[in-house]
A and B are shown apart, each in its own frame.
Chain A
Amino acid sequence: MILEMKRITKRFGSVIALDGVNLELAKGEAHALVGENGAGKSTLMKVLAGVHQPDSGEVILNGKSVDISSPAESQMLGIAIIHQELNLIPYLSVAENVFLGREPKNLGFVDYKKMRKDTKALLDQFGIELSPRSLVKDLSIGERQIVEILKALSLNPEILIMDEPTAVLTDKETEKLFELIDLLKQRNVSVIYISHRLPELKRVCERLTVLRDGKWIKTDVLEHFSEHDIANLMVGRELEDMYPPLPTKFGNEILRVEGLTQNPNFQDVSFTLKEGEIVGFAGLIGAGRSELATAIFGGDPADEGIVSLKGQQVNYKNPIQAVKGGFGFATEDRKQTGLILDMSIAQNITLPNLRKYQRVGFVNRKLEKADIQKQVKNLNIKLHSVNQPVKNLSGGNQQKVVLAKWLVANTEIFLFDEPTRGIDVGAKREIYHLISNLAKEGKGVIVISSELPELLGICNRILVMHNGRISGEFNHEEATEQQLMKKATGL
């Protein structure tokens, strides 16, 4: 065993995030770490990364008991981590971010040439076309994730921790990542792999450890379990029917988009949405799906084209108009555009629709509280108090807060951009049912997702985008993963 973590306990105030958790890792093994949202996975990894100090328990590395008191020390011990939340510096270039704090030097000056060359080599290894000089702020969230991965790889670690690395990647980049992990394993690097995408676990990992509510549940060889078994172990009960029945009763056309263009992000996009219908958008990173949703919502208005709501042209200039018109937009990147991390859970949930709780400019906390409690219950958000800062929630629970924001608003048309990113299987199922119920109530729903199975599972129709244009449209009955993939890659 290269690493053993024994009886690790960690509290945050009165919250017990980890309660006597064990984890062991063999050399050259990829080890899956799974559990529901808030189970303690990220916290356990942050103990290894030197971000958190455990209250009790022992970490044994290469047979020696170690005390990891800082991230720098963790790096020195040969541990690299790709955190669940991205931690790049927006105004630095890709190369500068990858080598941050470890810049190659020449006569005391930073050797930018070497830095860019090494970064380029890493990028090539990943097969991604990105300039080492581009600023991180101009990258998509998927590209940022790749930069994070490269940053960890450039450390040449013995142990590599990946906390939901594929949550923001599409299938193509994901496959690249898996090939890289295979390569690392051959080089005897050990990998701890956290993911809520259960199908990919077997592709990557040999063993798994399950956590539930901060407690260790099981460590075993992955082959012994089906996806269904893993899901049941995570939630501690029997899960049934992942996807709800498709909506069937449609009302009038509620949204019509014609020839919408925003250079260079998307061109000539047209589609319609009926009341009670769920329409999916598939595509690769950079296909322009998020930009399209942002434009419809008025976040960054389009250059040309028409958006009509119930037959009337609206073309929103800002999100305020869109929200008044009944639109809700759960963005893909909760940290950058979804949440105000320092504000409380409650304040985040009511932010888009504060006017609803307003009496002559004053916020009526009682009215507010009732709605907040309802959504916390509805989405089963795991929290200590609704007044705690939203940044203290686990990743998946933060995601639920993003959804809750638009459920309390009087939303008629939902734009969900990666609604289940980072959400555990049990909660995913709940969200699919929730989306289906929204449709049943006659709302129009648009779902953008990089997980094809979920689009196939819940959407009446799926549109595929490639390079900013709609490249295919499928009804539920005729769509298959292969076809979607083909259109998404522009074949």
Chain B
Amino acid sequence: MANLETEIEVTKDRKLYNWMQYFWSNYSVVFAFIVLFIVASIASDHFLSPLNITNMLRQISVIGILAVGMTFVILIGGIDLSVGSVLALTGTIVMASQVDFGTSIFTAILFGLVAGALIGVINGVIITYGKIAAFITTLAMMTIARSTALYYADAGAIAGSNMDYRAIGNEYLFGIPIPVYIFAFVVVIAFILLEKTTFGRHIYAVGGNSSAAHLSAVPINKITIMTYMICGLTAAIGAVIETSRLNSVSTSSSGSMYELDAIAAVIIGGTKLTGGQGRIIGTVFGILILAILSNIMNLLNISPYIQGVVKGAIILVAVLLQKRS
């Protein structure tokens, strides 16, 4: 009534002010990114070179894609520690299909993606119907997936022979690496899912208050399982890019510790670990911040051994800032 009319009557600058306030509280990570970007461009001449930028973007694509999947899981208040190992296992499946079973590239990729999604579903089913904490379930899956990959390849690598497969990870289109397009595509799909669909609305509801969601006829088990499925699927997409880059998978080191970077990006991006709050845009900027940080430290010849300290500090600052608002 009167209230709605006042909403329209709000004066222009008031609106601008409110909008800015809204923007700041939701997208402070964007400002952090801009500041960092400017600092980086001043600190090193190489930073802004096209080669450096495209390389940087390609390097973050894999972790970026994992972080998108991780965003879904963290939004419902969960966590997935298994993505790094799932990347290794699905990568093994993709390479083994080509090398040991002689399937086409297309079929091999399909196997990998289906396997990734399936592992996610298994995680989700154990968490919902088995009522085991996500942390524990995915921790177990982390060791199971890694160990399966190691066992299959005797802890070694599987190298492919089909040179066409290398294109995915190495080719460019209009001067931009293919993985960057894949990353962008995944981001857009995730954005649409979260912002525009019933599924996305339900994710925020489950993460915000699962008992209220349950009593509002939200299928919480189904939603939970689907988010883990998405997370597993993104791990498999990451696996395809990663294995294609070298046309090989290393069962011992592929994807190792990727889960931590993915989680870090999501947190820096402003998604709350308790669920219900966060945006995919935040995650994208979270990953960009991590990327610029390690890139600039490399350009400035800072020892890689100390880089972890900086990364850790950034995560803490991000969480502290979140607590403030």
Q: Which residues of A contact B (CB under 8 A)?
A: 13-14, 294, 297, 299, 318-320, 322-323, 329, 331, 336-343, 347, 351-355, 358, 361-363, 373, 376-377, 380-386, 405
Contacts and interface: CB of A to CB of B under 8 A. Distances in A.
Interface stretch (B151-159, B204-212, B285-293): B204-212
A336 B21 CA distance: 28
Main secondary structure of the interface of B (DSSP, over half): helix
Given A13-B18, A362-B197, A343 B204 contact: yes
Given A363-B201, A382-B3, A384-B7, A340 B208 contact: yes
B111 to A, nearest CB: 27
Interface of B: 1, 3-4, 6-7, 10, 14, 17-18, 21, 196-199, 201-202, 204-205, 208-209, 211-219, 276-277
B4 A319 contact: no
B198 A358 contact: yes
B211 A340 contact: no
B204 A340 contact: yes
Contacts of B217: 319-320, 322-323, 352-353
B209 A341 contact: yes
B193 to A, nearest CB: 9
| Nearest 10 Cβ contacts at the A-B interface | A340-B208, A323-B217, A352-B216, A351-B216, A319-B217, A320-B217, A354-B198, A340-B209, A342-B208, A352-B217
A144 to B, nearest CB: 15
Contact of B204 (A337, A347, A383, A384): A347
Given A320-B217, A354-B198, A358-B198, A337 B4 contact: no
A377 B209 CA distance: 26
10 contacts: A14-B10, A14-B18, A294-B215, A297-B215, A340-B276, A343-B204, A354-B201, A362-B197, A363-B197, A363-B201
Contacts of A341: 208-209
Contacts of B212: 331, 336-340
Given A320-B219, A339-B209, A340-B208, A361 B199 contact: yes
Nearest to A330: B215
Given A351-B213, A376-B1, A381-B3, 12 more contacts: A299-B214, A299-B215, A318-B214, A336-B212, A338-B215, A340-B212, A340-B276, A347-B204, A354-B198, A358-B198, A376-B4, A383-B3
A319 B213 CA distance: 10
Contacts of A386: 4
A337 B215 contact: yes
B217 to A, nearest CB: 4
A377 B1 CA distance: 5
A407 to B, nearest CB: 14
B3 A331 contact: no
Contact of A331 (B6, B196, B215): B215
Nearest to A324: B217
Contacts, number: 95
Contact of B201 (A339, A351, A377, A381): A351
A373 B216 contact: no
Given A14-B18, A337-B212, A361-B197, A354 B4 contact: no
Nearest to B209: A340
A335 B205 CA distance: 13
A291 to B, nearest CB: 13
A373 B198 CA distance: 20
B4 A377 contact: yes
A361 B17 CA distance: 34
Contacts of A337: 209, 211-212, 215
Nearest to A390: B208
Contacts of A14: 10, 14, 17-18
B196 A343 contact: no
A327 to B, nearest CB: 9
Contacts of B208: 340-343
Nearest to A299: B215
B135 to A, nearest CB: 17
Contacts of A361: 197-199
Nearest to B208: A340
A363 B10 CA distance: 27
Contacts of B214: 299, 318-319
A362 B208 CA distance: 21
Contacts of B6: 384
Nearest to B18: A13
A354 B209 contact: no
Contact of B196 (A339, A352, A363, A405): A363
B215 A329 contact: yes
Contacts of B21: 13
Contacts of B219: 318, 320
Contacts of A13: 17-18, 21
A383 B6 CA distance: 10
Interface hub of A323, A339, A362 (most chain B Cβ within 10 A): A362
Given A14-B18, A341-B209, A342-B277, A384 B3 contact: yes
Contact of B198 (A318, A338, A355): A355
Nearest to B196: A362
Interface hub of B14, B17, B198, B199 (most chain A Cβ within 10 A): B198
B74 to A, nearest CB: 14
Interface hub of B17, B208, B276 (most chain A Cβ within 10 A): B208
Nearest to A323: B217
Contacts of A320: 217-219
B201 A405 contact: no
A189 B203 CA distance: 48
A52 B172 CA distance: 55
A355 B276 CA distance: 20
A329 B211 CA distance: 13
Contact of A340 (B4, B197, B198, B213): B213
A354 B211 contact: no
Nearest to B210: A340
Nearest to A383: B3
A447 B7 CA distance: 34
Contact of B205 (A319, A343, A373, A383): A343
B197 A319 contact: no
Interface hub of B6, B196, B198, B216 (most chain A Cβ within 10 A): B216
A376 to B, nearest CB: 7
Contacts of B3: 376, 381-384
B273 to A, nearest CB: 14
B63 to A, nearest CB: 27
A294 B14 CA distance: 44
A405 B218 CA distance: 13
